Amino acid sequence: MTRLLLPLEHHPHSQDLTDDTLLQQLKKLPRRVQQVFLLSRLDQLSFAAIAERLDLPALTVERHMNQALQSVRPQRDVLASMAGQWYVRLQSPQVTASERIDFRRWLDAAPEHREAFHATELRWRTLLAPARQLGHDAWYRQPRAALSIGGCSVAIGLALAALAAIGFWS
């Protein structure tokens, strides 16, 4: 999703969020959503390649990408939400010719639609720096989202406690 679908122009009313704000919003996402987002944004993998790599349905990859993009849109902005959904859907290998026609109709229906879609494309570009920070240690390239050492310790401790409780150690 690195190519722009509309010509790049600057719109003064577009929401300018700082990299730190964007990074904090991305960090709030579930790890799997972060992983899908980073594989797309940093490694520039297609939805199909991400789906194959993570053994996920293509629609799940699309849903995760939509969730990532929606997390950094202006709140309560219906047009931004719709534009984000179109932006993600158009990147999907499952998008149909009919959907592309529907998108074109939506885009041409009002100048506000074009502006919202353009703002979404600009927002996507601004996510590169926060994405680099989020994926700085390449954790997202693992087949499964990395499990923390602390999480493993807790799981082992709970398993040992359960074994002790049923008298396995007697």
Alpha-carbon distance of 126 to 145, in angstroms, equals 24
Average predicted confidence (pLDDT) for the chain: 84
Q: Confidence class of residue 13 from pLDDT cuts 50, 70 and 90?
A: very low
Mean pLDDT of 105-126: 95
Share above pLDDT 70 across residues of the chain, in percent, rounded to a whole number: 75
User: Domains of the chain: which residue ranges?
Assistant: 19-145
138 conformational bin, left if phi > 0, alpha if psi -120 to 50, beta if neither? left
Q: Taking the alpha carbons of 115, 120, 121, 123 in that order, is the dihedral positive or negative?
A: positive
Mean pLDDT of 70-81: 89
List pLDDT tens digits, range 23-60. 999 999 999 999 999 999 999 999 999 999 999 999 99
Q: Is the per-residue pLDDT at 147 higher than 70? A: no
Report pLDDT for 4. Answer: 47
Mean pLDDT of 87-114: 95
Share above pLDDT 90 across residues of the chain, in percent, rounded to a whole number: 66
Q: What is the pTM of this model?
A: 0.73
Q: Is the per-residue pLDDT at 126 higher than 70? A: yes
Check residues 83 and 157 and name the one with the higher pLDDT: 83
Q: Is the per-residue pLDDT at 145 higher than 90? A: no
Report pLDDT for 76. Answer: 83
CA distances from 92 to 43, 55, 95, 117 (A): 16, 16, 6, 16
Mean pLDDT of 59-82: 92
Structure tokens at 71: 């997390």
Alpha-carbon distance of 115 to 104, in angstroms, equals 14
Nearest in space to 103 (alpha carbons), one of 68, 116, 51, 69: 116
For 90-95, the CB contacts below 8 A with 24+ separation are 90/5, 91/1, 91/46, 91/47, 91/62, 91/65, 92/47, 92/58, 92/62, 93/46, 93/47, 93/48, 93/58, 94/58, 94/59, 94/62
Q: Is the per-residue pLDDT at 14 higher than 50? A: no
Report pLDDT for 51. Answer: 94
Report pLDDT for 8. Answer: 45
Structure tokens at 33: 């959503």
Q: How far apart are the first and last CA of the chain?
A: 59
Alpha-carbon distance of 104 to 100, in angstroms, equals 6
